[in-house]
A and B are shown apart, each in its own frame.
Chain A
Amino acid sequence: MTELLRVSHTMTLSWRYGTSWYFAEFIRALRDERRLLGLRCPVCRRVYLPPRPVCGNCYAELREWVEVKDSGTVRAFTIVHTPIIDPTSGQLRPTPYGMALIQLDGADTTLNHYLAESNPAKIRIGMRVQAVWREERRGTLSDIVHFVEMNNQTMNDEQ
């Protein structure tokens, strides 16, 4: 039997993605004012957060900014057990961790983000949650650390 070889290669890749006016405005409000903004479709009135340039259902351009709260309702959730590299830190994210689709108050779409809770028995669809913010914001959705259940909200980010 032939000795079978494998040839290895490591690629170091880097990219520089151009962003757009709606991204810039969303990030500016988040970073500078700790405000969350959605965009409303003129046809179906759906508020998109994160913002998109066009409504996927109506093909209409989105131009109207709408204030969205940093509290919301869990619409879907899971507890992730398989470790995966967190792209924002470059490190393995410790498991288990809670993750959800959260419909923020004022938005019609859901935001994929982390939950502080990692016990599935303590999470349910329809649960009310509140964002926990970092002390210093860099201008990214990771400026929200995670979401906690509203009645257990800690005081650490209140001003």
Chain B
Amino acid sequence: MKRVAVIGTGQTKHTKARDDVTQSELVREATTRALADAGITIHDVDAVVLSNMELFEGRALPEMWVGEGAGGYRKPVMKIATGGTSGTSACIAGYHQCASGLFDIVLVVGWEKHSEGATQTGMALTDPLWDRNVASGAVGNFALSISQYVAERGVTPQQAAKVAVKARRNAARNPYAHLQMDGITVEKVLESRMLADPIHLLDMCPQSDGACAVIYAAEDRAPKLCPRPAWVRAAVTRHDQPYIGDLDRRLVTMRTLRDAAREAYQRVGITEPLKEIDVAEIYEPVSYAELAWYEALGFCAEGEAGRLIDDGITEMNGELPVNPSGGVLSTNPVGASGVIRVAEAVMQVMGRAGDHQVPDARLALATGYGVYAWSDVIILSTG
């Protein structure tokens, strides 16, 4: 198995609607930026992995129709669609392809064009025998789990709102982020429309149009192509039972994230994540989730997540900045969101994160979250 590093990233400015481009053209934007960042051409790419939730835009086989936008012509192309984890799963698949020694340079591109989609398509995600009987949508479904988490771990709406504020204020320093609300406050979050108790509008992630690409190179190519590559130190995936009624207290235990993180930390030799990790880009679909992820990732003990946000430990100037990019709460083209986590973690390690750079970031964590409880954990570092 070869060591693999990311040598370049590229993304589009994520927005509510990109009327000016097709899905192919959107993907091409991110792809050409990543190629430029990596200093290579499309002809240097050996394989392409795409990430997209085709269901949302009603476009089957996006790897065929949109693959050309990622330079897929006459190359091996595969598509991954695993809900919110699509992007991180695709990044892990691309890493596997490169680590296998079969491909030297692998391009991974994720995208979504929610402005083209129909909101009812989400219905097709529910199990037709049982769960489809009870209408609630993704927000209602998540709100159920939050009620258990709040009851057992005691986090408050104010603490959740602080997560939402942190995200949008960070995003104001990220030129690619969709939502940039420099003036957002805890009060504004709590005054915003209630979607499903206790989730307010501003607690929730948006739906965006956008694309993001990363390029992997195997160990014999990476240092020649990139002065400071971001080496993949661990890439772990865990899935779980599909029904939230069977997953006992989903957010409280979050066993997939817990298990994936434990294995990833073991691989890298991390024993104190809060101290040893310099920056984290974690996939948080709603503010409360980020608090649950702090505990599952071992940043703090169970019941301590509220204190972590209250004490500013995960702010930009805190001990472990979480989501300097603004996270999923600020930008959410679902097929791209997981790739953005990896790309942003890479940018931190490479020192290319501009106004939202965490000083001296050398070890970065990226996570993906999807469907009901799937988790991906990826760790990158400078050496």
* A contacting B, Cβ–Cβ less than 8 Å: yes
Residue positions of A touching B, CB distance < 8 A: 4, 6, 9, 11, 15, 17, 19, 23, 48, 50, 52, 56-57, 75-82, 84-88, 93, 99-101, 109-114, 120, 125, 140-142
Flag if B139 contacts A82 (CB, 8 Å): yes
**A76-B144 contact, Cβ under 8 Å, with A23-B129, A142-B133:** yes
Flag if B133 contacts A15 (CB, 8 Å): no
6 nearest CB pairs, A to B = A78-B143, A56-B241, A79-B197, A110-B245, A76-B144, A80-B140
Interface residues on B, range: 35 or more
Flag if B129 contacts A15 (CB, 8 Å): no
**A125-B137 contact, Cβ under 8 Å, with A79-B197, A81-B193:** no
Flag if B123 contacts A113 (CB, 8 Å): no
The stretch from B145-153, B165-173, B332-340 touching chain A is: B145-153
* Chain B residues in 8 Å Cβ range of A85: 120, 123, 135
Partner pick for A141 among B133, B194, B197, B246, CB 8 A cutoff: B133
**A76-B145 contact, Cβ under 8 Å, with A50-B130, A85-B123:** yes
Q: A70 to chain B: closest CB distance in Å?
A: 16
* Chain A residues in 8 Å Cβ range of B151: 125
- B183 in the interface, Cβ–Cβ < 8 Å? no
- B243 in the interface, Cβ–Cβ < 8 Å? yes
- B19 in the interface, Cβ–Cβ < 8 Å? yes
CB-CB contacts of B57-94 with A at 8 A, as 1s and 0s? 01000000000000000000000000000000000000
Name the CB-closest residue of A to B200: A81
Apart from A79-B196, A81-B195, A125-B148: 20 A-B pairs, beta carbons within 8 A: A9-B58, A11-B58, A15-B128, A19-B129, A52-B246, A75-B148, A76-B145, A76-B147, A78-B196, A78-B198, A82-B137, A82-B139, A82-B195, A87-B123, A88-B132, A109-B246, A112-B131, A113-B134, A125-B151, A141-B134
Q: A28 to chain B: closest CB distance in Å?
A: 14
- In the complex, what distance in Å separates the CA atom of A75 from the CA atom of B131? 17
- In the complex, what distance in Å separates the CA atom of A84 from the CA atom of B128? 17
- B311 in the interface, Cβ–Cβ < 8 Å? no
* Chain B residues in 8 Å Cβ range of A100: 144
Choose among B123, B193, B194 the residue with the greatest number of A CB atoms under 10 Å from its CB.
Answer: B194
Flag if B133 contacts A87 (CB, 8 Å): yes
* Chain B residues in 8 Å Cβ range of A6: 19
* Chain A residues in 8 Å Cβ range of B196: 78-82, 99
